[in-house]
Amino acid sequence: MKQILILTCTIALVLPIALTGCNIGAEQKAELENLKAALAKTESERDDLKARINIVTQTRDKLQKQLTELAGSSDQLQKQVGDLTTSRDTLQNQVEELIQSRDAAVAKAQSAQERFDKLETQLQIETQKVHQLESQLKLIQTAIAELQDKVNL
């Protein structure tokens, strides 16, 4: 804006001088030189501002690129979080299934242990019955032997 204003002022000052023709006096020459110096200074300021604008534009472009990269990274991280959440849920379901399987296996083992204990008790009872029957058999065999001895006498 400043450059345009300076350039407009310069043109406004130079135009009347150019229109007046060849009667330029020493004072007018000095003023013309001042205007040329002002124009050169304005052009220099303009070039400096253009250079600054280029630097700001490059910085803006770099920041925009970084922002785009960060947005991509953010999306990628959100996807990974989603994948990890899904994996966690799957693992939790597997853990729950394994716990149920373990509980079922423990229940079966307890049931089997109870049946084993019951069968062991029955075995002991049956073993006692067998011992009693063996004792009775021995008594009967002894009695038969005695009767055979008496019959044979």
Give the predicted TM-score (pTM) of the model.
0.46
Judge contact between 38 and 10, C-beta under 8 A.
yes
Question: If you ran DSSP here, which 8-state letter would residue 23 be given?
Answer: -
| Type of residue at 53 | I
What is the spatial distance between Cα 10 and Cα 2, in angstroms, rounded to a whole number? 12
pLDDT of residue 4: 73
Judge contact between 89 and 43, C-beta under 8 A.
no
Nearest partner of 6 among 51, 49, 53, judged by Cα: 49
Q: Residues 39-63: pLDDT tens digits?
A: 899 999 999 999 999 999 999 999 9
Residue ranges covered by each domain of the chain: 2-110
pLDDT in tens, the chain (153 residues): 667 766 666 666 665 665 555 455 678 888 888 988 988 999 999 999 999 999 999 999 999 999 999 988 999 999 999 999 999 999 999 999 999 999 999 999 999 999 999 999 999 999 999 999 999 999 999 989 988 888 886
